[in-house]
Structure 1
Amino acid sequence: MSGGPIARACMASERKARNEALCGCIQTVANQDLSGADQRMAVSFYDDPHRAQVMRQSDNPRDEAFWLRYRGYADRSEQLCRAYS
């Protein structure tokens, strides 16, 4: 399993589909697509899903740029890690 903040948050989550292979795959994609700061922001969504909604709707250019990177990461991890769920 690829260790990192997203993998740890994934394994600590209450999602039924979580497992080491899935969380490791998601972390591997995050390592390729997101900076450390972006990963820390993404981890906050596990604890507070509403924060993701606020970020998505923000008019702040920095938040908008993050959201585009995050959506790209989320789409790619969904495609690449589907087999593990």
Structure 2
Amino acid sequence: MTRPLILAVAIAAIAIPFMPSKSDAGILSRACMRSDRKAATRPMCNCIQQVANQNLSRADQRLAASFFSDPHKAQEIRQSDTRGHEQFWSRYKEFGTVVAASCGHLR
């Protein structure tokens, strides 16, 4: 193998496990677009997804996406005393702050 090919294979071997699967790719964007919210435009939903990809794990993204169809679930998670829910909510609040700063211009 040539050196560039070896490098490309090595990079792919490292990167592929961290790439979202088709079932996870764009989960927040899809949930956003399916919602009945007036602000749910393609640019806004795509921006939200980009921020999510940088700030939330896939599991966090799946949980956050569920809030679009069940807003009360967000309230339950926020008020939960479960350590995992508290940790998620902390990450989710930070995510919301970044979304507001990064995507607010798309409203």
Please indicate, yes or no, whether the TM-score normalized by the shorter chain is above 0.5: yes
Q: Higher relative contact order by CA 8 Å / sep ≥ 6: 1 or 2?
A: 1
TM value normalised by structure 2: 0.75
User: Where does structure 1 lack aligned partners over 5 or more consecutive residues?
Assistant: none
TM value normalised by structure 1: 0.94
Counterpart-to-counterpart distance in 1, 2:55 and 2:37 = 23
SS of 1:52 mapped into structure 2: helix
Deviation at 1:7, TM superposition (A): 0.4
What are the Cα deviations for residues 1-33 of structure 1, in whole angstroms up to 9, with x where unaligned? xx6000001111100011111100000000000
Counterpart-to-counterpart distance in 2, 1:15 and 1:5 = 16
Q: Determine if the alignment matches structure 1 residue 32 to structure 2 residue 54.
A: yes
- Letter paired with 2:89: W
Partner residue in 1 for 2:81: 59
Deviation at 1:70, TM superposition (A): 0.5
Which of 70, 73, 76 is 2:98 aligned to?
Answer: 76
Taking only the aligned residue pairs, the percentage that are identical comes to 49
Alignment RMSD: 0.8
Q: Which runs of 4+ in 1 moved over 6 A?
A: none
Deviation at 1:78, TM superposition (A): 1.1
Q: Determine if the alignment matches structure 1 residue 16 to structure 2 residue 41.
A: no
SS of 1:59 mapped into structure 2: coil
User: Where does structure 2 lack aligned partners over 5 or more consecutive residues?
Assistant: 1-24
What are the Cα deviations for residues 21-60 of structure 1, in whole angstroms up to 9, with x where unaligned? 1100000000000000000000110111000000000001
Larger Rg: 2
